[in-house]
Amino acid sequence: MKKNTLLIISLFTVLAVLLGACGAQPTAEPQAVEEVLASDEVVAEGRLEPIRATNLTFQVRGVVEEVLVKVGDTVSEGDVLARLANSGSAEAQVLQAQNAYDLLLRNESGDRARLWNAYMQAQIVRAAAEEDWEDVDVDAIEDTIEDLEADLEDLRDDLEDAQEEYDKYKDLDEENSRRTSAEDDLETAQENLSEKIRELEEEIRSRDEIKAAYDDALAAEAEAKYQYEISLDGPNADQLALAKANLDAAKDALANYVITAPFSGVVADVNVKAGEQVGTETRVVSVADFGEWVIETTDVTELEVVKISIGQSVSIIPDALPELELTGTVTEISNAFTQSGGDILYTVRIRLNEADPNLKWGMTVETIFRTGE
């Protein structure tokens, strides 16, 4: 793929032959005219890659016992993809270490396992209470409280006025219309005040009850942690720590014999089969996430990179699919450079906005950055 040429050289030959009464005139000399076309585009080559991809290898030498996937399989993070024939020994060591650790936990004086579980549960309760407290809009509640307190002051004034008005007529006959009206107004003022007080109390509780629950959860977690840490000073603390270290080491050793998916995606390639001898350098399985595509340029120069910015829109045309034009967005511009043939080059990373079923990992593409837009 070649970049668009900005310099066009045209050769125009003008031949003028004038015939007249006085005879032919001299022929004009041909001239070379150089024309420079201004461009508002930066055109670069790039390579298509999935958003995430990795080649997986075993961490030790051995014979492949089984490959549990084939090309095109969808896998989830943590799925076992392949294992070595001698993984059984590593699995037995994990089981043995786990049993030894569990035995110490069951026999630990002070019921350390119970204390650990209590500490874990306290963490869960604290985390839930913390989320509840973080969801509380304290500023909004306090603003509402201020408004309610201001309303209470007005209602207390209304009650005081109603009381004064009632006092004027309280000695009159109970059936007197003025006394009855004043008494009704007094009761209404009292009810309004009481209702507003209840609203204020409810609003305060909406803040304080959640905060109190969070404070209680923090205190309970701290106490559970303290009780558990005290239990570590027991006579078997060193044995327990050693058993846990052995268990972790056994699990790490087992991980060397088993390949698991580091993320959810699709098996792009399987390079081994059962019975083969493999080493740490042998690529076993390739996993990729084809849900999104990215492009990395290979030839953006120092004169061009200054015209490109994060978030800029890009047109993308695969070499193998020239009729297909896609769009993308610049997500990253490298600060480091490479040098090739005297040119200083920078890598620009582009995320494809849409996918196409015909796209393949590794395809070369033309990227067009329209800097004038």
- pLDDT score of 30 more than 90: no
Band (341; pLDDT cuts 50, 70, 90): confident
What is the pLDDT at residue 293? 94
- pLDDT score of 229 more than 60: yes
What is the rounded average pLDDT of the residues 310-331?
94
For residue 232, which phi and psi values (nearest 5 degrees)? -70, -15
Residue 188 falls within a domain, yes or no?
yes
Residues 151 and 76 in one domain: no
Residues 174 and 323 in one domain: no
Structure tokens given for 5:
């040429």
Residue 16 falls within a domain, yes or no?
yes
Band (234; pLDDT cuts 50, 70, 90): low
What is the rounded average pLDDT of the residues 368-372?
81
What is the pLDDT at residue 201? 93
- pLDDT score of 259 more than 50: yes
How large a percentage of the chain has pLDDT more than 90? 56
Residues 151 and 219 in one domain: yes
Residue 351 falls within a domain, yes or no?
yes
Whichever domain contains 296, its CATH number is: 2.40.30.170
Band (16; pLDDT cuts 50, 70, 90): very low
Q: Which residue has the higher pLDDT, 324 or 235?
A: 324
Q: How many structural domains does the chain have?
A: 4
What is the rounded average pLDDT of the residues 308-323?
94
What is the rounded average pLDDT of the residues 139-147?
92
pLDDT tens figures, 69-128: 999 999 999 999 999 987 777 778 888 888 888 877 776 655 677 888 899 999 999 999
- Between 3-17, 73-87, 317-331, 333-347, the lowest mean confidence (pLDDT) is in 3-17
Last residue of a domain, one of 278, 308, 339: 278
SS (H, E, C) the chain: CCCCCCEEEEEECCCCCCCCCCCCCCCCCCEEEEEECCCCEEEEEEEEEEEEEEEECCCCCEEEEEECCCCCCEECCCCEEEEECCHHHHHHHHHHHHHHHHHHHHHCCCCHHHHHHHHHHHHHHHHHHHHHHHHCCHHHHHHHHHHHHHHHHHHHHHHHHHHHHHHHHCCCCCCCHHHHHHHHHHHHHHHHHHHHHHHHHHHHHHHHHHHHHHHHHHHHHHHHHHHHHHHCCCCCHHHHHHHHHHHHHHHHHHHHHEEECCCCEEEEEECCCCCCEECCCCCCEEEEEEEEEEEEECCEEHHHHCCCCCCCEEEEEECCCCCCCEEEEEEEECCCCEEECCEEEECEEEEECCCCCCCCCCCEEEEEEECCC
Residue 120 falls within a domain, yes or no?
no
What is the rounded average pLDDT of the residues 46-73?
93
Residue 116 falls within a domain, yes or no?
no
Instruction: Report d(CA 296, CA 40) in Å as an integer.
Output: 21
Residue 314 falls within a domain, yes or no?
yes
pLDDT tens figures, 260-292: 999 999 999 999 999 999 998 999 999 999 989
What is the pLDDT at residue 238? 73
Residues 212 and 187 in one domain: yes
Residues 206 and 144 in one domain: yes
What is the rounded average pLDDT of the residues 335-353?
93
What is the pLDDT at residue 109? 54
What is the rounded average pLDDT of the residues 181-210?
92
- pLDDT score of 36 more than 60: no
**In which domain, by residue range, is 20 found?**
7-40
Exposure letters 180-211 (e unless 16+ CB within 10 A, then b): eebbebbeebeebbeebeeebeebeeebeebe
pLDDT tens figures, 198-224: 999 999 998 899 889 899 999 999 999
Residues 218 and 257 in one domain: no
What is the pLDDT at residue 107? 67
Residue 115 falls within a domain, yes or no?
no
Residues 147 and 191 in one domain: yes
What is the pLDDT at residue 371? 73
Total Cβ atoms within 10 A of residue 308: 20
- Between 9-23, 220-234, 336-350, the lowest mean confidence (pLDDT) is in 9-23
Q: What is the pTM of this model?
A: 0.47
Residue 320 falls within a domain, yes or no?
yes
Identify residue 317 by its one-letter amino acid code: I
Band (37; pLDDT cuts 50, 70, 90): very low
- pLDDT score of 4 more than 70: no
Residues 97 and 241 in one domain: yes
